[in-house]
Amino acid sequence: MSDFKDLIEIGEFYILSQKFDEALKALKKAERMKKNEARLYFDMGMAYEGLNDYEQAREAYRAALTIDDEHKEAREHLDRLIEQ
Amino acid sequence: MKQFVVIGLGRFGASIAKALSSKKIDVLAIDRDETRVREMEGVVGQTVVLDATDEKALRELGVADFDTAIISMGETIEDSIMITLSLKELGVREVIVKAQNEIHAKILKKVGADRIVFPERDIAERLAESLASTKIFDFIELSDAHSIVEMVVPKKLTDRTLGQAKLREKYAVSVIAIKRKVPYAKADGATDFRDEIRIGPGGNDEIIAGDVLIIMGKNEDLAKVQKI
């Protein structure tokens, strides 16, 4: 049984490997363990953005910013997606 | 979900408002004619009797918050030009306008219309189709019968080569480019995406989830691909 941090790292590895569906599987598993982590939702946003699912990506970046309103990258990605 | 405002509820405006609404999309329908507005009540989400050439009224209504405006004014060319100008000034991201003729279309483009449509092409249904589809990013008409669409690759076609996907054999369409978001680690360790475009991909090129395919073909064949 992987712990939360492992799942996040697995998710990030899959994002870098362009396996966005796999990344989401790991990240959703992580979400079931802990919900108040901005990094988790930022990573989810990245995976959805990689899949060109901008609606879900925006939602995930917003969730990251709700937890940490100073998350610079989530803000940047969200701003960029709103402009599209 | 995108929000649409339809201005002018003649035959074209009313059909597109209905078509979008039937796809569970939020539509605000506006006309200065109360009878036309009343006919749309209960058919679309919101209706308002308003003279859309009045920029102040449009601003007060909050049209700037809508993603897309569709202007379909049958009576006068001037009205649709004025309204296009107002909407762009108010900051509506995408303004689609029904044009009466080529000259009208040219003026509309000059004042900032993002897309022009001609009613005689009976486009209402097809436009609603492309707007409602989250798969379709862009749509360029080459002729009455042919188009280029930019669509997110359907799940069924991922993790195989373009040759294995057999789009040309099965649907008679050509993939003219593949756009891909490639993740990379920035100098500060953060991850970001850069866009890569492969023009004229070959049969051995792989398609992965999230790719955007730019496909050219007959409209009826493209419609089939969108349903994969």
Contact B172, B217 (CB under 8 A): yes
Contact B191 A12 (CB under 8 A): yes
Which A residues, 47 through 66, put their C-beta within 8 Å of a C-beta on chain B? 49-53, 55
pLDDT at B145: 84
Of B152, B181, B191, the CB nearest to A16: B191
pLDDT, position B135: 60
Cβ of residue A73 closer than 8 Å to a chain B Cβ: yes
Q: Is the pLDDT of residue B223 over 90?
A: no
pLDDT at B97: 93
| Percentage, residues of chain B above pLDDT 90 | 50
> Quick check: B210 and A55 CB within 8 A?
no
pLDDT at position A22: 94
Cα–Cα distance for residue pair A80/B114, rounded to 1 Å: 20
Tell me if B210 and A51 make a contact (CB, 8 A cut-off): yes
Cβ-contact A75, A45 below 8 angstroms: no
* Model confidence at B65: pLDDT above 80: yes
| pLDDT value at A1 more than 70 | no
B11 touches chain A (CB under 8 A): no
Mean of the pLDDT values across residues B34-51? 93
pLDDT of B123 higher than 60: no
- Locate the DSSP E strands across B26-111: 26-31, 46-49, 68-71, 94-98
As a dihedral over the C-alpha atoms of residue B90, residue B3, residue B227, residue B151, rounded to 10 degrees, the angle is 30
What percent of chain A is predicted at pLDDT more than 90? 76
Contacts of B137 in chain A (CB under 8 A): 52
When CB atoms are compared, the residue of B1, B181, B190 closest to A50 is B181
Instruction: Tell me the pLDDT tens digit for each residue of B156-188.
Output: 899 899 999 999 999 999 999 999 999 988 887
B210 touches chain A (CB under 8 A): yes
Cβ-Cβ contacts under 8 Å for B133 (sequence gap 6 or more): B151, B226
| pTM for the structure as a whole | 0.54
Q: CB–CB of B183 and A73 under 8 A?
A: no
Closest to B167 in 3D by CA, of B180, B181, B153, B179: B153
**Residue B137 and residue B150 in contact, taking contact as beta carbons nearer than 8 Å:** yes
A31 pLDDT more than 80: yes
Amino acid B85: pLDDT? 94
What's the confidence (pLDDT) of residue B147? Answer: 87
Q: What secondary structure letter does DSSP report for B3?
A: E
Nearest CA distance, B134 vs chain A (angstrom): 8
Q: Considering only alpha carbons, which residue of chain B is nearest residue A58?
A: B1
